Structure 1
Amino acid sequence: MNAFISMTFVVELFFETSDFNNLKLISLTAAIIKMIQKSFLTYFLILIVLSSAQAQKSKKEHWVDSVFNELSESEKIAQMFLIQASSHWEDNKLQDVEREIRTETVGGVVFTTGHPLKQLEATRNFQSVAKVPLFIAQDIPNGLGSLLDSTITFPTPLALGATTSDSSLWVMSKEIARQLKMLGVNMNIGLNANLATRTDITPRSATFGEERFLVTRKALTFLKAMQSEGILTCAKYFPIEGITITDIEKDVPVLHSFVDSLNAYPFGQLFKQGLPAVMPASKDLPLFYESKKAARKNDYSGAVLSSSFAGDWIRKQMKFNGLVVIDINTLEAASDRLKNGDAELFAFQAGNDVFITSGNIDPAIRKIRRLLKKEKQYEAQLENSVKKILGVKYDAQLYQKRELNTDNLLLKLNKETTKVLQQKIFRETITVVKNTDNTIPILSLENKKFASIVVGDTAKFNDFHRLVSKYVKSKRISVRSEKDVNRVQNIINSHDVVIVAFTSLTTEAITQQVAEILKTKKIDQQVIAVDLGAPGFGKYVNDLPVIVEAYAAQQPLMTLIPQVIFGGIASQGILPASLGTLQAGTGIKTKSLNRLGYSIPEDVGMSGNALKKIESIAKEAISIGATPGCHVLVARDGKIVYEKSFGYLTYENQTPVTDSTIYDLASVTKVSATLQTTMFMHDRGLIDIYKKARIYLPELGKSNKKDFTLKDILTHQAGLWPFLPFWAQTMKDSNYLPEYYAKEPSLRYPYVVADHLYASSAIRDTVWNWIVKAKIREKPQRTPYDYRYSDMGFYVLQRLGEKILNQPIEDFLEQNLYEPLGAYTTGYLPLMRYPISRIAPTENDKLFRKSLLIGTVHDQGAAMLGGVAGHAGLFSTANDLAKLGQMLLQEGEYGGYRYYQPETVRLFTQRQFETSRRGLGWDKPIPNDINSPTSLYASPRTFGHTGFTGTCIWVDPQFNLVYIFLSNRVHPDMTNNKLLNANIRSRIQDAIYESIFDYCVKNKTEITAEPNF
């Protein structure tokens, strides 16, 4: 109105002015009018907002009043009750809850444990019979998996306190809220905003930490995320200190109390941000008010007040206007003299609003009604509490009916993106708190004996052992009881690196005994302790040189902690609460060594659902008899995201394939063994691949191979015959010639060809002489040889390498490549290192070796040489072969060590000629050609190799992929070509690329086309 008057005054002043040419006055007047117009607009907008708010307030008040007025006195009292239920209960027990909701008009239900589908169905039934919409509450601080089957669990609050960024907590909390909404849950009572106060970490796992600003920041993040999704939040365990009784008036104590401002600080900040509900720390404030007749000042002076009376103090002293929630079950547990309904009555008398109870609420309602009749002042309190409850329900939009859909519920609750988030957050929580001599990550793996010890029940922690064994060959033991403790001493005495996981599933006595043994370690011995919530662990932190803190024995940590120890991933957590003498805030960041990690497909931009196609293709291969079993591994962005075994070692289906099954790699040996020595020599300048082989092997100078260059040999363009059956020259009429073989080993016959067949010590020189003299392919004069795949060139390369390196190829590779990589199963002569039960059999050879081949090389030429050859003889698991592939993908660097210069890897893996697809030793795709050895999706930069026994390795730098397929398709007959005819290996590779494309389409992202090392 004042704006209108001001505007009128200015207009009148303008027209009363006789000097219309006075431009200054006109300009001034226009400015004033413009200012007034802006003021009027602002005033108008404020008026609209206030009117809207008033209208909204009126709607809320109208709904609250209308519902309140329709309730009987008993129903009003019942609105203050949340009754507990479990979807694990039998149907008749859930029907009892439903009946109580219908007849008593209770305020809500608190679900405990159960299954999400059954809980959702129960919630729908409960809401459908409720006269007033129900609070559906649940205590979910870190994911549904803490209470419900078949759902995801995130780190404990204390572990979340270890994360240095709150963004992951925000995303996690929003995801929890999303899942709660799907189940019809509208209140989360899982926010513990208390400060950790005990001296050991385990009892405090429900808190974010001990430092008030950290706890406040985390608690506010959790609250705001819940609020953003419309989920009510109750913060629990408000700490009140020093509450004593100074008088008793009408059977109710008069209080004298104070609050520790440090401990209460997080709650004060939550109150300012509109926290809807708070629960006092009842378990720390035992109930004293057990009998009104006994309540006398003299009896209770100085006694600690029950949490029932804390709520009134919070409301008055801290100006909290939300709901005060009391867990009646905890109060009843504090006294064995309470009758039914007494605890609820006392809690009501103390001015609290909401009572969580598990029992029949009829006695409590009757006692509160009697109190209301006897003492009218409580009627106003009842009205205030119930209207406050209804107001909160309105704010949560419970007045609107919400459809709850069970379709694909488990899939929606366990989305792959949620699993990625779970992995990410767990990675961020792992905290290295001591790292003497920078032990973690372990840099050198060679010449060391490793041991993995789990202190506690082993069933839950098998993944810990399994992941340690993915990096190194380790001795595994478990300490379940005190009688197992002595085994720890033996391990300490006989191993160089000992990793000990102290779990929550042990006793403080065993923790102490094992910790005392670890103190006896040798000076040069590395002992790494992992705390997974072990009781009493904090007492021994001064005695342990390296400590990884993981806060709780949660399953995802079993696979992540070994990755931190071996440099698959980095650690970045900080200690949120003191651990023994280690102060909160302690945290040593460790780095990744670019060793392979282990994760899920979506973590690297692949669709796990699309990768399921691999299983159907692998099972097809087995069903058509292409192979009795196989193993498939996929790694992207430095993480193995798919590794699965199919079938059995033989068609008798007795021994299943596992991730520890060792396969004969056949011609994959060429690139995984001999080519590695060639790359090494080139990288160090020991050879020149453009020179002729006779420069290094003079015996070739007078042969038909005198003009062969190393490059021609490597690219299979030297004119060598593909294959020469030398073994036939060592037999006559199916009998072994004695100058070559014997049935028993001796100095004269040292080389194992097969079971009960040993080759002469001269056999290697004999075969080499045959190779030197062997015929070569014919060609027109003055024309180069074309591409023709041959084994013969790798006999030559092996001989050359062993001469220049002055070492047998198997020893050189073991010392300089496989052991440093941690590829401990990769190598020749597996029977010298592993039991025959771990090795997949190949052919039942009826011509040459006349036996089933298990652990001896399938290739006849390699077998003649005792199992060590340049073209065949290597054995490996998929996991260890993947380490070699990843090193090459990373252009020669792996585990903090550089094996080759990047330009060496690039040179050998690139195409060499327009007329051939080959690299130097490596096979490559044929673009847009159905006859390509790879998927047609493979990029031109892809390199790899296949093996005759049904194996392959393919590395694609453009998509940052490593793909490995291992099988024994030649068992029991090497003429079985069904694997090749059905295109099994390349079809699986198709599915790998399709999973990338599928993920990008669904998530509207671009394909990552370059590696990030």
Structure 2
Amino acid sequence: MKKPLFLFLFSFFCIATSSFAQITPPFLQNPNQRWVDSVFNSLTPDERIAQLIMVAAHGYPMNPKRVIIDTTFSNPRVVAQYIRDYKVGGVIFFQGGPVQQAQLTNYYQSISKVPLLVAMDAEWGLAMRLDSAVRFPYQMTMGAIQGNDDLIYRMGKALAAQKKRLGVHINFAPSVDVNNNANNPVINFRSFGENPQKVFEKSYAYMKGMQDGGILSSLKHFPGHGDTGVDSHFELPVIAHNRARLDSVELYPFRKLIEKGADGIMMAHLAIPVLDTAKNVPSTLSKPIVTGLLKDQLHFNGLIYSDAMNMKGLTKYFPNGTGDAKGLEAGMDVLEFSPNLPAAIAEIKKSIAEGRISQAEIDARVKKVLAAKAWVGLAQFKPIETKNLIADINDKESELLNRLLTENALTVLKNEGYILPIKHLEKVTIASVSLTDAPAATATTKDGVVALGTRNETASTGDLTTFQKTLSLYTNVDHFIIHPQTPDSVQSRIRSALKSYDVVLVGAHLNNIRPGTNYGITPTTATWVKELANNGNSIITVFGNAYSLNKLEGISNAKALVMAYQLTPFTEELSAQLLFGAIPAKGKLPVTVNAQFGYGAGLDIPAIGRLKYTIPEEVGLNSQWLSFKIDSLANNAIAQKATPSIVVQLAKDGKVFYRKAYGTHVYPTPLKMVNVPPRPVQLTDLYDFASVTKIAGSTMALARLHSEGKFNLDGTMKDYLPDYKNSNKADLVWRQVLTHQARLKAWIPFWRDTKNADGTWKKKTFSWGKTAHGPYTVQVTDSLWLHKKYSKKIFDAIRESPLNEKKEYIYSDLSFILYPQVVQNITGVPFEDYLKTNVYRKIGANSLTFNPRRFYDLSKIVPSERDTFYRETLIHGRVHDEGASMLGGLSGHAGLFGNANDLMKVTQLYLQKGRYGGESFISENTMNEFTSYQFPESRRGIGFDKPCRGRDCGNAPKSATAMSYGHTGYTGIMIWNDPAYNLNYVFLSNRVYPTRDNNKISTLNVRTAIMQVVYEGLGLK
């Protein structure tokens, strides 16, 4: 992209008028001169030369049976020989493992006369070279971040800490090349982008973070490798620009960073005729460039490193050590990756003898290197402790930074019709298509996972991409995977299936970032992207290089387009969250792709208040500590047989930071009477919510109706239940009813009236059989059917029941049994339909349902009790509460099932004052009213439980504030919100298995103790 003339002139003017006032590199500010002089004086002239050379090493163990990539110079025995015999100044490590590298570093340091400077190329973290290490985003990904460069600073500092832990002192990073050539084979995604000012700003944040972390940096590749079409690893690129262009673009970030105290700069192997007319002389070996430009004109006095001296762009013209000598003659301080150490030292000695470089120049550079060694702590070298090394360099702070950097980089390039974020979940059918090079092609439906043409028509969610798994957290999404080996017949079936969906979420998973591989775009991916983009209903997310957009024909026709910049678990997970509005879109393209997608393109899209999924560190908690505490409580409860299973989900500020399932559906010890295997619990498994139905169902409906002015808390029962006009409950006020102090009886054991004194069922009440027949249509068990009119007896019993004499708090189920009638009387819509249509489907809480056997396999539903006195069978997939079971499994006091994630969507709606997903469901005034104490003598809100005031009682955690509210369920459920700290807690268990007589879940205080851990972790004891 051509820069406007006024910007060009402005940039040039700023450079031309620079005062060159600059900060001294940190390692030269207060050098340990005594140590430097002492070490220097111990070195022979040959050893001084060797101090300016770094040899290559690999982090592999010294195993003679292992094949080393290059046995000439990176074999540990060869490296050790160079250290012993030549006294080299340092090593640069390439591929390997952290522990092996640390062990080799300890060994190399133990045999070195002078402590070695240890370096690595780790532009995007240690994972650039090592297994089992953190991979930070590529620089181009971070180039998309707008106005939040503090994250890059934090990344630099975190990387410095990891390097120090590993015994590494130099990171050859950042790349400050201004990449304005889409076909650049060597820089490309390694650059922050094409804007020189932004490259400077982001490079400074990275450099300063490393410096403040005690690590030497190295800006590269001077004087700028961003506009090359040739890879200097194989040939010498030529930069043909004039000086004005170099000053305003390529040199600009280097100049500004030198002024900011740059401590190291790496030279590039480039031919730049305007700076040096000598033919085939790379800038690495050019005195006019290294000394004339970098030192004299730009006043750089830090360490000048060569790029790898074995690269063909240099050795093709300067082999056998001649390049090493010429590099020092040009003005460099450290020769990195010298391929022939003996020849290099011989040539350098020859250069000194012939006067092309003086011994004084060598000595000055050695002292500068020694000053750097002292600054990084080598004056007091200590061996690396390898215990816990891998855990230490994979810290949670780095994972958090990865998430935040990724989140801030994600860029929306198109959003036709404001389709993003996806809203109105109840109105759209959604499919996802992941285009990968993975070896499986699967599709899932709402009924489970179905393979398409492979694996004998079976598959599991393990086949899904991280992108797809995260999408499923928000609503029902049917998933498809296509790869180059997917048979044409299967692709045809997918093509047909996709026609029935309103929205198709496409993930282009590009497994290679480099232009030489066409950015990892396979013909299959290209074909499908073009086809899906033209269908008019596709939202495409590209997990790959930004320049890949120019290689994906027709992609601009997509309804919406998201650029994720690379393929990682973080980009997949967070892109999915962006599509549903859990996080905002803030990134901007750092490069020009083509006329359609220019530099700076990107739409700002705000979040709309859906749950975000993250790690505890994002909300100020320690993952390791939190997991230890909660794991201990949950596992102890299971070990004590308080419950066979537990699911815990926790959120703060709308961010889900803990989701974990414990135990099995039933206890592993087999019971002959129970034919249920002890399946490990999954986060998606459904539980019987028991009395939490009161909050997630009845209270939800009433609060919504109250917001609409259709339900009056100070009205009476007869107002919404005409049958109660002549009953003793006609004038009971709903506010008192909903706070359990309207004198209603606690409960009525309806089931007892269905049995005779000898325990047999009464005639004409039940019938047995596999199917309904005649009037017996209410299924209670697999083979037991209740008379369809029996519900009338239940409602009559409630209406005719006596009231308690004293008006006091008595927790009662009775009114909640009536709320489905109240809701239908007000709205004309059946209770379950009202909830699903007006709330659950809108917020994506699709697992919430009554009678889940209609929609789910029993393997997805956690059993409750082995009923030995009424139904005389295992209660599995049917409501545990006897009264609710006699009402067909649907009641306002019990009967709702669901998973933890969907239940949390309901409780988060409450916490957000009635809003969720950009839509208002309940007014703020109503939420404030319903969640407030109603009467001085009661701890209840409207429907909600609250902490006791001034005494230790109730169901709240110890540190819960007076603003908090929630509810528990008889089967072992608990929800609790604390608006004071924006905390949201969901606890699921089936403590009633195998018997309700087991109340250890309460005696062990498991439910409240787990939430109390969060308060303690936040310092709120």
TM-score relative to the length of structure 1: 0.83
1-side partners of 2:143 and 2:255: how far apart?
19
Q: Indicate if the aligned counterparts of 2:325 and 2:348 stay in contact, CA closer than 8 A.
A: yes
Counterpart position of 1:527: 539
631-640 vs 456-465, greater mean Cα deviation: 456-465
Describe how 1:813-962 pairs up with structure 2 within 5 A: 813-927=835-949, 929-962=951-984
2-side partners of 1:885 and 1:676: how far apart?
10
Distance change >3 Å, CA 239–CA 776, structure 1 → 2? same
349-358 vs 428-437, greater mean Cα deviation: 349-358
2-side partners of 1:888 and 1:863: how far apart?
28
SS at match of 2:1014: helix
Describe how 1:376-775 pairs up with structure 2 within 5 A: 376-380=354-358, 384-385=361-362, 387-395=364-372, 397-398=374-375, 400-403=379-382, 406=385, 413-457=393-437, 462-483=465-486, 485-486=491-492, 489-505=495-511, 506-522=520-536, 525-533=537-545, 536-540=548-552, 541-580=555-594, 581-611=596-626, 612-652=628-668, 654-732=678-756, 733-735=759-761, 737-743=763-769, 744-745=771-772, 748-773=775-800, 775=801
470-479 vs 127-136, greater mean Cα deviation: 127-136
SS at match of 2:420: coil
Q: Indicate if the aligned counterparts of 1:230 and 1:396 stay in contact, CA closer than 8 A.
A: no
1-side partners of 2:611 and 2:198: how far apart?
34
2-side partners of 1:613 and 1:690: how far apart?
45
Q: Does 1:102 align with 2:102?
A: no
Q: Indicate if the aligned counterparts of 1:891 and 1:902 stay in contact, CA closer than 8 A.
A: yes
- Please report how far the alpha carbon of residue 273 of structure 1 lies from its aligned counterpart in structure 2 after TM superposition: 4.3
SS at match of 2:162: helix
Distance change >3 Å, CA 148–CA 130, structure 1 → 2? same
1-side partners of 2:257 and 2:551: how far apart?
34
Q: Does 1:278 align with 2:302?
A: no
Q: Indicate if the aligned counterparts of 2:54 and 2:334 stay in contact, CA closer than 8 A.
A: yes
1-side partners of 2:209 and 2:988: how far apart?
47
1-side partners of 2:809 and 2:338: how far apart?
80
- Please report how far the alpha carbon of residue 646 of structure 1 lies from its aligned counterpart in structure 2 after TM superposition: 0.4
2-side partners of 1:211 and 1:747: how far apart?
78
Q: Indicate if the aligned counterparts of 1:708 and 1:718 stay in contact, CA closer than 8 A.
A: yes
- Please report how far the alpha carbon of residue 962 of structure 1 lies from its aligned counterpart in structure 2 after TM superposition: 0.9
- Please report how far the alpha carbon of residue 229 of structure 1 lies from its aligned counterpart in structure 2 after TM superposition: 4.0
SS at match of 2:472: helix
Q: Indicate if the aligned counterparts of 2:105 and 2:167 stay in contact, CA closer than 8 A.
A: yes
- Please report how far the alpha carbon of residue 814 of structure 1 lies from its aligned counterpart in structure 2 after TM superposition: 0.1
2-side partners of 1:567 and 1:268: how far apart?
41
1-side partners of 2:903 and 2:158: how far apart?
38
Q: 2:159 aligns with which of 167, 176, 183?
A: 176
Q: Indicate if the aligned counterparts of 1:328 and 1:344 stay in contact, CA closer than 8 A.
A: no
Distance change >3 Å, CA 517–CA 482, structure 1 → 2? farther
TM-score relative to the length of structure 2: 0.82
414-423 vs 844-853, greater mean Cα deviation: 414-423
The one-letter amino acid of 2:291's match is R
Counterpart position of 2:207: 223
CA RMSD of aligned residues (A): 3.5
Task: Answer 1 or 2: which has greater helix percent.
Answer: 1
Distance change >3 Å, CA 977–CA 258, structure 1 → 2? same
- Please report how far the alpha carbon of residue 705 of structure 1 lies from its aligned counterpart in structure 2 after TM superposition: 2.5
Distance change >3 Å, CA 791–CA 274, structure 1 → 2? closer
Unaligned runs of 5+ in 1: 1-51, 245-253, 287-300, 1001-1013
Counterpart position of 2:60: 88
882-891 vs 506-515, greater mean Cα deviation: 506-515
Counterpart position of 1:48: none
SS at match of 2:432: strand
Q: Does 1:981 align with 2:1003?
A: yes
1-side partners of 2:433 and 2:557: how far apart?
18
| Partner deviation per Cα, 1:9-59 (whole Å, 9 max, x = no partner) | xxxxxxxxxxxxxxxxxxxxxxxxxxxxxxxxxxxxxxxxxxx99xx9998
2-side partners of 1:512 and 1:906: how far apart?
53
1-side partners of 2:907 and 2:390: how far apart?
37
Distance change >3 Å, CA 545–CA 204, structure 1 → 2? farther
2-side partners of 1:804 and 1:463: how far apart?
44
1-side partners of 2:29 and 2:638: how far apart?
69
1-side partners of 2:257 and 2:96: how far apart?
30
2-side partners of 1:256 and 1:789: how far apart?
84
- Please report how far the alpha carbon of residue 863 of structure 1 lies from its aligned counterpart in structure 2 after TM superposition: 1.2
The one-letter amino acid of 1:439's match is I
2-side partners of 1:200 and 1:429: how far apart?
22
Which entry has the higher C-alpha Rg, 1 or 2? 1
1-side partners of 2:810 and 2:361: how far apart?
91
| Partner deviation per Cα, 1:934-962 (whole Å, 9 max, x = no partner) | 22211122211111111011111122111
223-232 vs 256-265, greater mean Cα deviation: 256-265
Counterpart position of 1:32: none
Describe how 1:340-379 pairs up with structure 2 within 5 A: 341=321, 344=324, 352-357=332-337, 361-366=341-346, 368-369=348-349, 371-372=350-351, 376-379=354-357
Distance change >3 Å, CA 257–CA 548, structure 1 → 2? closer
| Partner deviation per Cα, 1:200-237 (whole Å, 9 max, x = no partner) | 79972211001122112222333333334443222222
| Partner deviation per Cα, 1:442-466 (whole Å, 9 max, x = no partner) | 2221122222222225689733222
661-670 vs 739-748, greater mean Cα deviation: 739-748
Counterpart position of 1:313: 289
Q: Indicate if the aligned counterparts of 2:611 and 2:905 stay in contact, CA closer than 8 A.
A: yes
Q: Indicate if the aligned counterparts of 1:841 and 1:968 stay in contact, CA closer than 8 A.
A: yes
Distance change >3 Å, CA 193–CA 742, structure 1 → 2? same
Counterpart position of 2:220: 236
1-side partners of 2:658 and 2:239: how far apart?
63
Describe how 1:959-974 pairs up with structure 2 within 5 A: 959-974=981-996
2-side partners of 1:492 and 1:553: how far apart?
24
| Partner deviation per Cα, 1:969-1013 (whole Å, 9 max, x = no partner) | 112222222212222112212212111117x9xxxxxxxxxxxxx
Of all paired residues, the percent bearing the same amino acid is 32
1-side partners of 2:193 and 2:576: how far apart?
25
1-side partners of 2:867 and 2:814: how far apart?
22
Distance change >3 Å, CA 63–CA 686, structure 1 → 2? closer
Distance change >3 Å, CA 76–CA 916, structure 1 → 2? same
- Please report how far the alpha carbon of residue 432 of structure 1 lies from its aligned counterpart in structure 2 after TM superposition: 1.4
2-side partners of 1:401 and 1:449: how far apart?
64
2-side partners of 1:243 and 1:787: how far apart?
77
Q: Does 1:161 align with 2:143?
A: yes
| Partner deviation per Cα, 1:607-649 (whole Å, 9 max, x = no partner) | 4344231111100111111111110111111111111110111
Counterpart position of 1:208: 192
- Please report how far the alpha carbon of residue 589 of structure 1 lies from its aligned counterpart in structure 2 after TM superposition: 1.0
- Please report how far the alpha carbon of residue 437 of structure 1 lies from its aligned counterpart in structure 2 after TM superposition: 1.5
2-side partners of 1:537 and 1:577: how far apart?
12
